[in-house]
Amino acid sequence: MAESYLDQLDAGLNSVAIFADRRKGKTEFLLDDLDPAAKERGILTVYVNFWEKKSAPSYCINQGIRRSLERDSPKLFKKWKKEISVNFGLVQAKASNITLSNPEIANESLEMLVGNKSRVLIMFDEIQHLATNPDFEELIATLRTYLDGNKKSIRAIFTGSSQDRLNKIFRNQKAAFYRSASLVAFPDMDEDFTAYLAKQFYALTKRKIPKSEIHEIFVEYRCSPFIVVDLLQTMMREGIYDIKEGLGYYLAQSNPTEEWEDLWKGLKPIDQLMLSKIIIPKRAFYHVDTYKLIAKELGVGKVSRGTIQASAKRLRELDILNNEGRGQWVFESDEFKDYIVTEVM
């Protein structure tokens, strides 16, 4: 998959965006698969994670570039330190958090990547975070201009977990990245992955777990590599070699649905009803029968269009629902939807 993404970028695609649910292995893929494969092709790689410091995306860019240069390009690193200290009056690269949060330094850092011998691939992780705050819009525009203006040497890959926010950045007519990136799939892993886990488990413990049993659990938990890896690690730690027993122990220790339970319990009653009585059963939003039903469930006299509208807006802001347009509302996370269907409804 890493090779195919790189081929597409080599073939002239300027940037690629992938999104998948939480804990599907995106970050791991960027760092452990894409990064080495790109280096193999002589590409300088930069990893930027916008969650490194949520309040300051410029800081994340600066740190990503600094780390990459320090690790892979001593010459450029020296130049970077000098440039930054000359232009911004910093003593050496002992740049503090505040100075590295400066957008101008981020621009300078980005510019330093251009026009070198090697091509550059910048990996932007948690890109959806840039859609959380209108203050970040300027940075989105800067990145767009930068990528457009340096098509020859700079390629980018964006990764995120919120479909709605990614759409906001990439698909929205007004948004700065419009037309600049193509969304590519990030498919779930398959039997090869669980067979590999079985092999590793055997190598480390000399105990066999049938790979089909591992695969079953992997699929049951929405093909999240996190859960199955965490489970096998727990089993190794506890000396449990039967996967059913291991799962029982694991679930008693760390309940994977706990996060969803907390989210659900934190919702207003109207928002809970919105999800369980309207969105999941696909009931018409703005219909008198819907208003009646919700009023009855809430035990109030009347529910209006505005109430429903406000609830949808809140659920969207909480990243729970995604508006796909034309009245189509879907869950951001299928896991949360599953939780409601199996545990609540």
Ligand X SMILES: Nc1ncnc2c1ncn2[C@@H]1O[C@H](COP(=O)(O)OP(=O)(O)OP(=O)(O)O)[C@@H](O)[C@H]1O
Query: Which residues make up the interface to ligand X (CB under 6 A)?
Result: 22-28, 161, 225-226, 229
Nearer to ligand X, 27 or 142 (CB): 27
Q: Least distance (Å) from ligand X to the CB of residue 50? A: 11
Strand order of the β-sheet with 15-19 is 44-49, 120-125, 154-160, 15-19, 182-184
Residue 226: which of Mg ion, ligand X, none does it interact with, CB under 5 to 8 A by kind?
ligand X
| Partner whose footprint covers residue 317, from Mg ion, ligand X, none (CB < 5 to 8 Å by kind) | none
Q: How far is the CB of 297 from ligand X (least distance, A)?
A: 33
* Shortest Å, Cβ 25 to ligand X: 3
Give 27 or 257: the residue with its C-beta nearer to Mg ion.
27
Cα of 152 vs its chain's centroid, Å: 27
Nearest in space to 127 (alpha carbons), one of 49, 65, 56: 49
> CA–CA separation, 302 vs 288, rounded Å?
10
- Look at strands 15-19 and 182-184 and give their pairing: parallel
Q: How many residues bind Mg ion (CB under 5 A)?
A: 1
Specify the stretch interacting with Mg ion by CB under 5 A; choose among 19-27, 173-181, 253-261, 305-313. 19-27
Among ligand X, Mg ion, none, what does residue 311 contact (CB within 5–8 Å per kind)?
none
| Closer by beta carbon to Mg ion, 127 or else 209 | 127
User: Which one, 24 or 215, has the nearer CB to Mg ion?
Assistant: 24
Q: Based on the shown chain and the rule CB under 5 A, indicate whether residue 27 belongs to the binding site for Mg ion.
A: yes
Site membership for Mg ion, residue 52 (CB under 5 A): no
Nearest to 42 by CA among 18, 76, 6: 6
CA gap 313, 307 in Å, rounded? 10
Q: How far apart are CA 329 and CA 280, in angstroms?
A: 10
Is there a contact between 338 and 263 (Cβ–Cβ < 8 Å)?
no
Residue 22's binding partner among ligand X, Mg ion, none (Cβ under 5 to 8 angstroms by kind) is ligand X
Position of minimal CB gap to ligand X? 25
Is the Cβ of residue 101 or residue 161 nearer to ligand X in the bound state?
A: 161
Q: If contact means CB under 5 to 8 A according to the sort of partner, which of ligand X, Mg ion, none does residue 229 touch?
A: ligand X
We find the least distance from the C-beta atom of residue 336 to Mg ion, in angstroms, to be 18
d(CA 223, CA 221): 6
| CB 55, min distance to ligand X, A | 18
Element (H or E) spanning 321, and its range?
Answer: strand 321-323
Residue 219 near residue 213 (C-beta atoms within 8 A): no
Q: Please choose, from the candidates 252, 264, 262, 197, the residue with its C-alpha nearest in 3D space to the C-alpha of residue 224.
A: 197
- Residue among 85 and 234 whose Cβ is closer to ligand X: 234
Which residues here bind Mg ion, judged by CB under 5 A?
27
